Structure 1
Amino acid sequence: MSVKYSVVLRKNPAKSAEPGKYYAHAQAYGEMDFDSLCEEVNGRCTVTRADVSAVLESVLDSMNKGLANGQIVRLGNFGSFQIGVRSHGAAKEKEFIPTMIRGTKISFRPGKLLTNMQKTLNYAQVAKLPVKVTTNV
């Protein structure tokens, strides 16, 4: 298997007068949903698909609780998750108030398992996916 990509023209928004350059753009082909993941794991070990589903749901619930409490959630060689915040700035520290926080994001840092996988990827160029056209009727 290989990572599929197409080549696309992109302009630098900071230097709009300069001509664009061509860059690789990853193309996803299909997806692995929760049920497919459970089935895949079931095929690699002795636990049932229902057991895999129950464990993964429990892991997600525990991750949710840990992240909501401000903890870093580490999943061994898979990687770690942490809450980050986005906010408006204040001129002085004492002027900052909690309502200046615009929202949060979840940061993921891959561990050794995924980092090592990235080092061994193969690539295959494919045609660009068609642009989706939406109409307002």
Structure 2
Amino acid sequence: MAIVFKKALCKNVADKSAVAKYHLQLLTLGQNVGIDRMVYQMKENSSLSKGDIFSVIANFVECMRTNLYNGHSVNIRDFGVFSLSARTEGAEAEKDCTAKKIRTVRINFRPSIGVRPDPASTRAEDAMEFVDLQTYLDSQKGNGGNGAAAGNDGEEENSLG
């Protein structure tokens, strides 16, 4: 399955004199993949039952939360690092800069090199294929809906599967 994109005209709102430029926006197709589907896919690739996998995930989330809330970052090898950050209200005096100034707390994720997307990857299992949505839709009208579409450079034939 390819990653579908559309072209959008965007203007830098901070710079009134900037010329609007086209940028690619990656699209998410269909519904989100939920825990049930992920567990089923994991079950198919292991000897664990769905119940075992659900239990491991639930325990993992609880353990990660506990460690984050105790001030630690959580480093999952070959996946990435989770940590907390806060958005705060500023204070003019250091003595007024207290925990009461925290407005929101977020969980950050920094992916490891192993999962970071690389559009230039040449390894088959890591290769990313991109398809222009408009080109795909136009090809459906013009050639009886066979699924062929030009890629982002117009040279390759791609299919949405």
Which TM class, normalised by the smaller chain length? 0.7 to 0.9
Q: Does 1:21 align with 2:28?
A: no
Q: 1:94, CA displacement in angstroms?
A: 2.9
Instruction: Tell me the residue number matched to 2:3.
Output: 3
What secondary structure is seen at the aligned counterpart in 1 of 2:87? strand
Letter in 1 for 2:99: P
Instruction: Tell me the residue number matched to 2:151.
Output: none
Q: 1:20, CA displacement in angstroms?
A: 1.6
What secondary structure is seen at the aligned counterpart in 2 of 1:13? coil
- Tell me how far apart the structure 2 counterparts of residues 112 and 21 of structure 1 sit (CA, whole Å): 30
Percent identity for Structure 1 against Structure 2: 24
What secondary structure is seen at the aligned counterpart in 2 of 1:94? helix
What secondary structure is seen at the aligned counterpart in 2 of 1:114? coil
- Tell me how far apart the structure 1 counterparts of residues 92 and 14 of structure 2 sit (CA, whole Å): 26
Instruction: Tell me the residue number matched to 2:82.
Output: 81
What secondary structure is seen at the aligned counterpart in 2 of 1:37? helix
Instruction: Tell me the residue number matched to 2:48.
Output: 47
Instruction: Tell me the residue number matched to 1:125.
Output: 132
How many pairs align?
A: 126
The structure where helix makes up a greater share of residues is: 1
Cα 1:57–1:118 change in 2 (3 A) is: farther
Q: 1:18, CA displacement in angstroms?
A: 3.0
What secondary structure is seen at the aligned counterpart in 1 of 2:92? coil
- Tell me how far apart the structure 1 counterparts of residues 107 and 89 of structure 2 sit (CA, whole Å): 18
Instruction: Tell me the residue number matched to 1:57.
Output: 58
- Tell me how far apart the structure 2 counterparts of residues 8 and 107 of structure 1 sit (CA, whole Å): 28
Q: 1:56, CA displacement in angstroms?
A: 0.7
Higher RCO (C-alpha under 8 Å, 6+ residues apart): 1
What secondary structure is seen at the aligned counterpart in 2 of 1:60? helix
> RMSD of the TM alignment (CA)?
1.5
Structure ID, larger Rg:
2
- Tell me how far apart the structure 1 counterparts of residues 12 and 94 of structure 2 sit (CA, whole Å): 34
Greater mean alpha carbon deviation, residues 72-81 or residues 84-93:
84-93
Instruction: Tell me the residue number matched to 1:96.
Output: 97
- Tell me how far apart the structure 2 counterparts of residues 79 and 99 of structure 1 sit (CA, whole Å): 30
Q: 1:105, CA displacement in angstroms?
A: 0.8
Instruction: Tell me the residue number matched to 2:124.
Output: none
Which consecutive unaligned segments of at least 5 residues does structure 1 have? Answer: 128-137
When normalised by structure 2's length, the TM-score is: 0.72
